Amino acid sequence: MAIRRVSSTAVRVFPSTTSARSSDDGASVLTLLALDTAQGALSVAILDGPRVLAHRVEARTRGHAEALMPVLEAAMAEAGLGFGDLLALAVTVGPGTFTGLRVGLAAARGLALARRLPLVGVTTLEAVAEPVTAEADEAIAAAFDAKRGEIYLEAFDAKHASLSEPMIVAIEEAPARISGDAVVCVGTGAALLASALTARGVKARLSLAPAQPDALSVARIAAARLATFGPDRFRVAPAPLYLRAPDAKLPGGLDPILPGAA
């Protein structure tokens, strides 16, 4: 049974100072910075309404902490912006690696607190599913290889509406968590999932979309949520989403993801 573990670390509330400007058609426009360091890549994207001002992606399984600020500063320079020009932030909250996930969240929380900006949390599963194109009768299954014969999994309909909670599940049990007779699979666990689905008689195919989350997708999801709910919905910093407990324990048996262990 999947266990959704969310850090109980106290969250901070960012005072509201953001005011979006309006486009020619009256729509609200936010200059938004998105970060992702949660899985096997590092990416930064900056949107100004629908315009992409900067977008940088590099494959990376370690060293996120050292690389993030130089990549972030390069993206800001490419966009021709200072941090004072930003009106909103977004970051992936997991599932992902414990170290990489905390790097992105710490940077985003620090910027949000310093600039008093709304911060939208987006799961890595939502992010990797965002660019996938599916037929009307297909479900989208975002899956990351969690090792040990398990995958992180979330299912969506063809219009990207979530059909399940994020979960960690044994590969052989995953088909039972996805409804429908046709599925398009994406993510580092896509091939594992597609094989299990095919063995159960489900029509499964692999998406051509990238297998790693991308900050550009994170930014697009966040922009849509800000337009729907408004910035004040996102004044509380998002907590990390952990679907598996850490193996390591600190001295005294402390859990490294719980308060007092950071």
pLDDT for position 8: 34
User: What is the structure's pLDDT at 28?
Assistant: 53
- Amino acid identity at 147: K
pTM: 0.85
Q: Quote the pLDDT of residue 6.
A: 38
Query: In the predicted model, is pLDDT for residue 4 greater than 70?
Result: no
Strand 167-170 versus strand 150-156 pairing type = antiparallel
The model's confidence at residue 252, banded by pLDDT at 50, 70 and 90, is low
Nearest residue to 228 via CA among 51, 55, 30, 85? 30
Q: Is it the case that residue 187 has pLDDT exceeding 80?
A: yes
User: Is 175 a residue whose pLDDT tops 60?
Assistant: yes
- Of 39, 6, 100, 52, the closest CA to residue 108 belongs to 100
- Using a pLDDT cut of 90, give the percent of the chain over it: 79
The predicted-structure confidence for 48-89, as pLDDT tens digits, reads as follows 999 999 999 999 989 999 999 999 999 999 999 999 999 999
Report d(CA 241, CA 130) in Å as an integer: 18
